[in-house]
Amino acid sequence: MIRTIDVESYFQRIGYDGARTPTLATLQAIHLRHPQAIAFENLDPLLKRPISLDSQALEQKLVHGGRGGWCFEQNWLLADVLRSLGFHVTGLAARVMWNGPVDAVRPRTHMLLRIDDLDGGPYIADVGFGGLTLTAPLRLAAEVEQATPHETFKLVEMPGGFVLHALVRDLWKPLYSFDLQAQILQDYEVWNWYLEHHSSSPFLNSLVAARVAPDRRYALLNNRLSVHHVRGSSEQITLSSAAELRAALTETLRIRLPEGAGVAELLERVTASQ
């Protein structure tokens, strides 16, 4: 079923004024602009506010509310937009491998999309992987190095699926593993709840945010803002006050902070505890 979404407001949010046809060129243009405009962030879990995957709630939060979100929010919103344009979209699930032991088996807590019926075969799309989120769709083909406007990626085939790798400082780093089993909303709601509530969730004790710019990536972990320049150097900035953290969130990461109680206290707590 195709969900109703305010596509024109979404396009205004990401700064897209191109074609509305379900082509690879359209997908590439949308995929590049989305992570530049809509940041990855986990403010709601830290504020003990529930995250809804209802399409209207996502539209209100990420499009009209100026907020960001994590993978389930980002990619479910993108799926709604692409389906409304006539793309054939299937939701997939992945086990995150980034920054963990290679042999560790983690739960399927990441969402990505498969896009079919495009020139060149099926593609994957993913605008919700934080500091290394894709800025272009990738052809679903193993052992092919694929350049994007930022890093180069490749898919490595494994029994039953694939592992996505990124080329980071001349080393191939695994991001996540996935198979091609289709997932539905109820699957994502379970994993979404897990990340909101389980003690092992990485998003309950640390402030995490990220956004892409044309020539760099911004990644925030608590009060440390990292700037990674495309094919260049990296720098790290320590934010020593709640005011500096607020400015980084609103100006650099372009997140409209939620209203209501708890936000100021959260910013103070994050900077004071580091």
What single string gives the DSSP state of each residue in 169-188?
TTEEEEEEEE----B-HHHH
Nearest to 110 by CA among 129, 127, 123: 129
Distances (CA, A) of 136 to 26, 73, 226: 11, 18, 22
For residues 28 and 25, give the distance between their C-alpha atoms in angstroms, rounded to a whole number.
Answer: 5
Q: Residues 34, 44, 80, 126: which is the catalytic one? A: 126
Query: Count of alpha carbons within 13 Å of 185, Cβ hemisphere only?
Result: 10
Is 126 an annotated catalytic residue?
A: yes
CB 17 within 8 A of CB 30: no
Q: Which of 34, 44, 80, 110 is catalytic?
A: 110
Interatomic CA distance for residues 183 and 172, integer angstroms: 28
51: number of Cβ within 10 Å: 19
| Annotation says 179 is catalytic | no
> 124, 142 in Cβ contact below 8 A?
no
**Active-site entry in 31, 34, 71, 228:** 71
Which residues are catalytic, by number? 71, 110, 126
